[in-house]
Structure 1
Amino acid sequence: MKLKNALGVVIGSLIASASLQALAQGQGAVEVEGFAKKEMFDSARDFKNNGNLFGGSIGYFLTDDVELRLGYDEVHNAVGEDGRNIKGSNTALDALYHFNAPGDTLRPYVSAGFSDQSIGQTGRSGRNGSTFANVGGGAKLYFTENFYARAGVEAQYNIDQGDTEWAPSVGIGMNFGGGSKPAAPVPAPAEVCADSDNDGVCDNVDKCPDTPANVTVDADGCPAAAEAVRVELDVKFDFDKSKVKEESYGDIKNLADFMTQYPSTTTTVEGHTDSVGTDAYNQKLSERRANAVKDVLVNQYGVGGERIESVGYGESRPVADNATDAGRAVNRRVEAEVEAQAK
């Protein structure tokens, strides 16, 4: 299996698809990384010492969790039994499955794929080529939404020779773009007066037969009296998470429907955290939570972004006791409210 010929084409395609936005990792994101490996050669190779490998990779997130990664590295410091230096290169194509959610600080992963290796000895003609099946695992630690450090280990089975080698590795990388839009259930719209025969008059009520169509009505089918109406939103988050949970989409949709019904309204989405962690980290986490709810309102439910302001308050505005698990769970939240004059 020869992967090197496709290296330039695939890297070019992935770079062209990157979006240079400061968003959380997720579907559509591109990650580039520089890394170092320690190749633990199988004893059948008769090498005096193991090799140091240095290279780079580029990956594209097909989903929030699945990344396709293309890597290239070169072999250094390996020495044969005759004292001659071993030189060569590896080209690998792997798929990675990440755990936790985009935007989380720690994202463990498992990987599987194939690699092609070509090595030779200094002063000798000819090279040895081998194809490997790779499996591995590790974790990425995100210092920010766009920069991370990685540590992992791979088992490499030599398909051509039938032996297995190991390669622990570390790397530093950066992330561009990403962000997904999960689906959510659609609740029933608010009841309005129906005009099935298109005569301009509400036809599904008895007490107010002259009510115009498309007007919000009360239980009797009459136009609702003008009064102040409001919707409040309180979205809870798991510890150290900024991903909106599926059970919160219905409440966010209710607020979006209200803002659609009253198009002159605006709102401020406020993010909060519990007291675990530093002030600086919690400030960033609260901002990510507020932006996550705003993203659902704008991209999932079509509310204009200019009508929504997002702000994070970190741990500075608790509503419950941070000394207890229950209190901290209440404080990990995003709040918003909208008020309008109903007619």
Structure 2
Amino acid sequence: MKLKNTLGFAIGSLIAATSFGALAQGQGAVEIEGFAKKEQFDSARNFKNNGNLFGGSVGYFLTDDVELRLGYDEVHNVRADNGRNIKGANTALDALYHFNNPGDMLRPYVSAGFSDQSIGQNESGRNRSTFANVGGGAKLYFTENFYARAGVEAQYNIDQGDTEWAPSVGIGVNFGGGSKPAAAPVPAPAEVCSDSDNDGVCDNVDKCPDTPANVTVDADGCPAVAEVVRVELDVKFDFDKSVVKPNSYGDIKNLADFMKQYPSTTTTVEGHTDSVGPDAYNQKLSERRANAVKQVLTNQYGVESSRVQSVGYGESRPVADNKTEAGRAVNRRVEAQVEAQGK
């Protein structure tokens, strides 16, 4: 593949990727990058100068931190001692482990893998070598989707026994990771049926069926509804923290006591954040907050784990103005509620 075709494909992919609206950087995300390397050839190569390598790569995140990357580049501006041009290409398969969390602005990484290099002089054949690669670097995310990368690789030539170095820089796009949780459905308002002829059954059967004679009815002839009792929980968190504060334990215990009083009840613990920071990071933070409250309910106050679900909504459901500090403090919360029919 010619260099201009390789770069054209990479640039086209970068442009196309901007049309994807899914959350980036998490498990299932794809990264497409164009890069340049400066390979420091071993002296055994008998080259007059080091090589400029240009190419592209495609990576897939197997987990939030582990990426499998396939790369291709071509060698330029290298001359042998006899003055002939050196041309060649590299194909590499590497695994990258990223530090920090998806959505963080800076994500350092380490890498390891293998590459195949075919390189040689005009009119004198080609040399093909297999390399074992190890490296490291960092990615700087300007937005959720666009980043710049700088790193360095050590390349051990398995066939010849020498080691070469290749510092590199690149720019890329990240798209297609896990989607945000769907908003909870809003329940439809309850229908109320009436008993206009006072015969003890509902008249508007289109809305609800006739009430049997042996069932207690209300003034409208509909089944009497038992009193509903409810307890609500609202736990606040410090900025960028997911640790439950001591002054919230009493409220969590009240919820636990209520659930023990009504053993058939269940609840969903919902985590939220303010709008400071990348959306992907806030999503993970909200999940950690919800899970922290769940752990207090189950581990400390004895509510069965199967009765408590936890979910994070990131910054998507503010209840106050995120433009003010007071509003952001209100939005850094975990909410839960439990309803039961009164005894």
Using the size of structure 1 for normalisation, the TM-score is 0.60
3-state SS of paired residue (2:71): strand
Whether the aligned pair in 2 keeps the contact of 1:36 and 1:54 (CA below 8 Å) is yes
- Residues 39 and 313 from structure 1, CA distance in 2 versus in 1: closer, same or farther, beyond 3 angstroms? farther
Whole-angstrom CA distance in 2 between matches of 1:235 and 1:98: 27
Matched with 1:293 is 286
| 1:200-243 Cα shifts (integer Å, max 9, x gaps) | xxxxxxxxxxxxxxxxxxxxxxxx9655532213355647xxxx
| 1:51-80 Cα shifts (integer Å, max 9, x gaps) | 100000011111111111110000000111
Matched with 2:167 is 168
Task: Name the aligned partner's letter for residue 325 of structure 2.
Answer: R
Matched with 1:130 is 129
Q: CA deviation at 1:177?
A: 1.9
Whole-angstrom CA distance in 2 between matches of 1:171 and 1:62: 21
- Residues 287 and 96 from structure 1, CA distance in 2 versus in 1: closer, same or farther, beyond 3 angstroms? closer
3-state SS of paired residue (1:168): strand
> Structure 1 vs Structure 2: percent identity of aligned residues?
62
Alignment of 1:279-318 (within 5 A): 282=276, 284-285=277-278, 289=282, 293=286, 301=309, 310-311=317-318, 314=322, 316-318=324-326
Matched with 2:140 is 141
Greater radius of gyration (CA): 2
Q: CA deviation at 1:43?
A: 0.8
Q: CA deviation at 1:99?
A: 0.5
Whole-angstrom CA distance in 2 between matches of 1:86 and 1:245: 59
2:333 to 332, 335, 339: 335
Q: CA deviation at 1:334?
A: 2.2
- Residues 149 and 309 from structure 1, CA distance in 2 versus in 1: closer, same or farther, beyond 3 angstroms? closer
Q: CA deviation at 1:118?
A: 0.4
Q: CA deviation at 1:176?
A: 1.4
Whole-angstrom CA distance in 2 between matches of 1:99 and 1:332: 30
1:234 paired with 2:236, answer: yes
Alignment of 1:156-305 (within 5 A): 156-179=155-178, 226-227=228-229, 229-236=231-238, 238=240, 271-272=273-274, 282=276, 284-285=277-278, 289=282, 293=286, 301=309
| 1:104-139 Cα shifts (integer Å, max 9, x gaps) | 1110000001000001213x1411111101000000
The root-mean-square deviation of aligned C-alpha atoms, in Å, is 4.5
Matched with 2:86 is 86
Whole-angstrom CA distance in 1 between matches of 2:55 and 2:114: 16
3-state SS of paired residue (2:317): strand
Q: CA deviation at 1:271?
A: 2.7
Whether the aligned pair in 2 keeps the contact of 1:29 and 1:177 (CA below 8 Å) is yes
Alignment of 1:31-70 (within 5 A): 31-70=31-70
Using the size of structure 2 for normalisation, the TM-score is 0.60
Number of aligned residue pairs: 249
| 1:7-66 Cα shifts (integer Å, max 9, x gaps) | xxxxxxxxxxxx944314121111111100001111111111101000000111111111
| 1:121-174 Cα shifts (integer Å, max 9, x gaps) | 13x141111110100000001111111110000000111111110000000111
Whether the aligned pair in 2 keeps the contact of 1:22 and 1:176 (CA below 8 Å) is yes
Whether the aligned pair in 2 keeps the contact of 1:148 and 1:174 (CA below 8 Å) is yes
Whole-angstrom CA distance in 2 between matches of 1:99 and 1:302: 25
Whether the aligned pair in 2 keeps the contact of 1:72 and 1:89 (CA below 8 Å) is yes
Task: Name the aligned partner's letter for residue 159 of structure 1.
Answer: I
Whether the aligned pair in 2 keeps the contact of 1:231 and 1:337 (CA below 8 Å) is yes
Unaligned runs of 5+ in 2: 1-18, 181-225, 291-307
Matched with 1:153 is 152
- Residues 316 and 75 from structure 1, CA distance in 2 versus in 1: closer, same or farther, beyond 3 angstroms? same
Whether the aligned pair in 1 keeps the contact of 2:102 and 2:281 (CA below 8 Å) is no
Unaligned runs of 5+ in 1: 1-18, 182-223, 274-281, 321-330
Whole-angstrom CA distance in 2 between matches of 1:148 and 1:291: 20
Matched with 1:324 is none
Task: Name the aligned partner's letter for residue 164 of structure 2.
Answer: E
- Residues 109 and 291 from structure 1, CA distance in 2 versus in 1: closer, same or farther, beyond 3 angstroms? closer
1:22 paired with 2:18, answer: no
- Residues 295 and 100 from structure 1, CA distance in 2 versus in 1: closer, same or farther, beyond 3 angstroms? closer
| 1:286-328 Cα shifts (integer Å, max 9, x gaps) | 785268637998xx948799xx9523955622489xxxxxxxx
- Residues 52 and 147 from structure 1, CA distance in 2 versus in 1: closer, same or farther, beyond 3 angstroms? same
- Residues 287 and 108 from structure 1, CA distance in 2 versus in 1: closer, same or farther, beyond 3 angstroms? closer
Q: CA deviation at 1:335?
A: 2.0
